């Protein structure tokens, strides 16, 4: 066993340098000596005009930008405010996220998928933030909860949502025919009118077959866009704009929303519209694979968490683990969430954890930011920052390339040695 003298270790098994025995100050060092040194620096600083001197000023840990923001006077833009005053804590994470989005994710060769969780569209974020991102080519494909798309349709149908007081009695609201989403109020007839719209369009001939949720939403978006034109209200619906921009929108749980509930109700009458989750799983994987095989990169912008987050990230395990195709993982990861990582839920799972599943390329982990903030605060700021700092990108129109991307996925699947399962292989041995 090495002696204390040989390995330079003293109390607690730490190296002597850990205890601050050199001339520089340390919380573990000799306090009286450090105090005298600080007083000497103070006297020397006043005499020499060098008041910024500290014993560790050349440390590698102090290479970060100095915190010395300009005064806020109301003349600064939102982007300037973020760059120059969002310097610590989750403000800094939002700044890092904005810079990651504009400096790397919005490069021409990056395909960006966005996920939507939580009641974002009822709060007007579809019109305020998401539509501008789509029209500027800053989002190429989307995975959303069905509820966000259902409530988005209210706006395209000319129906009203209102700001309200969350302290109102819900018993009274029910009696008055008012529905509440925290501080958003709307007439119960908004639900009934939106249900009636979806039931009517879903009975059209083009809906009478199994399809991916992207195709279903594209068809619905066409009808909503026609209604907007008839009403003369402009582009208010995310579904309508996605239809025009060729942005495929998937939903990870088709039955978990009023849209899915209306599809199920019509099935009782013999309607043949079916949203096929198998198509969704393979189409989303094909988008990511096509981005990579085309010499580009894949990025995810995650608003919230939940099933849409996993559905976007599972594209890489689907490619690698299930299909057996050689891949590395998504290149860029930006999440806005209020979920904690220590409860084991997917919503709060970190990008580092996602590396172990093959969802994120380990070499790209430095290009991952998690901002612990409400999406209704962060998304408008991110959108404003992106439009201030970058130019619009050319629309990728991925919806129109679905067949092409699926053919690539199939060819890669076959290239890596996979073949159709023979009928005899599908029957498991039975126990006697």
Longest alpha-carbon distance in the chain: 96
Cα–Cα distance for residue pair 221/227, rounded to 1 Å: 10
The two tokens of residue 380 are: 């408008």
Q: Which residues, other chains included, contact 245 with Cβ-Cβ below 8 Å and sequence gap of 6+?
A: 134, 135, 395, 397
Q: Which residues, other chains included, contact 195 with Cβ-Cβ below 8 Å and sequence gap of 6+?
A: 258, 262
Cα–Cα distance for residue pair 82/316, rounded to 1 Å: 32
Considering only CA atoms, which of 217, 283, 273, 277 is closest in space to residue 246?
217
Taken as a whole, the chain contains a residue count of 432
Distance of CA 369 to the CA centre of its chain: 10
Q: In what order do the strands lie in the sheet with 249-251?
A: 249-251, 141-144, 110-116, 297-303, 332-337, 368-372
Catalytic site residue from 229, 359, 391, 410: 359
Name the one residue in this structure whose structure tokens are 């605060």: 377
The yes-or-no answer on residue 31 being catalytic is no
27, 138, 251 from 277: Cα distances, Å: 58, 26, 9
Name the one residue in this structure whose structure tokens are 């970060």: 64
**Residues assigned a catalytic role:** 359
């Amino acid at each position: 066993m090495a002696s204390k003298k040989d390995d330079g270790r003293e109390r607690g098994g730490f190296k002597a340098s850990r205890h601050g025995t050199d001339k520089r100050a340390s919380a573990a060092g000799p306090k009286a000596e450090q105090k005298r040194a600080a007083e000497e620096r103070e006297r020397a600083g006043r005499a020499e005009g060098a008041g910024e001197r500290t014993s560790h000023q050349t440390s590698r840990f102090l290479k970060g930008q100095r915190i010395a923001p300009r005064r806020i006077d109301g003349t600064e833009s939102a982007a300037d405010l973020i760059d120059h005053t969002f310097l610590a804590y989750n403000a800094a994470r939002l700044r890092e996220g904005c810079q990651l989005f504009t400096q790397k994710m919005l490069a021409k060769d990056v395909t960006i998928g966005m996920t939507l969780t939580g009641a974002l569209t009822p709060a007007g974020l579809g019109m305020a933030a998401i539509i501008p991102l789509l029209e500027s080519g800053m989002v190429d494909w989307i995975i959303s909860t069905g509820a966000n798309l259902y409530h988005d349709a209210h706006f395209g149908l000319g129906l009203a949502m209102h700001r309200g007081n969350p302290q109102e009695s819900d018993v009274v609201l029910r009696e008055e025919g008012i529905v509440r989403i925290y501080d958003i109020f709307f007439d119960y007839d908004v639900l009934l009118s939106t249900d009636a719209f979806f039931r009517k369009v879903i009975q059209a001939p083009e809906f009478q077959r199994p399809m991916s949720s992207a195709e279903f939403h594209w068809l619905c978006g066409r009808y909503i866009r026609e209604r907007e034109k008839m009403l003369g209200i402009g582009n208010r619906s995310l579904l309508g704009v996605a239809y025009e921009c060729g942005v495929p929108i998937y939903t990870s749980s088709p039955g978990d929303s009023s849209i899915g509930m209306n599809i199920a109700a019509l099935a009782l009458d013999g309607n043949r519209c079916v949203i096929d989750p198998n198509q969704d799983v393979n189409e989303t994987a094909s988008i990511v694979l096509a981005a990579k095989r085309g010499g580009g990169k894949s990025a995810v912008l995650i608003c919230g968490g939940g099933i849409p987050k996993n559905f976007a990230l599972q594209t890489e395990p689907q490619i690698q683990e299930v299909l057996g195709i050689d891949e590395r993982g998504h290149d860029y990861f930006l999440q806005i969430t209020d979920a904690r990582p220590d409860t084991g839920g997917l919503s709060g799972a970190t990008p580092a954890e996602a590396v172990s599943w093959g969802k994120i390329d380990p070499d790209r982990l430095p290009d991952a930011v998690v901002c612990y903030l409400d999406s209704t605060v962060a998304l408008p700021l991110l959108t404003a920052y992106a439009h201030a700092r970058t130019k619009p990108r050319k629309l990728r129109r991925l919806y129109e390339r679905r067949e092409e991307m699926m053919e690539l996925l199939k060819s890669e699947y076959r290239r890596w040695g996979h073949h159709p399962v023979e009928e005899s292989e599908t029957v498991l041995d039975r126990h006697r």
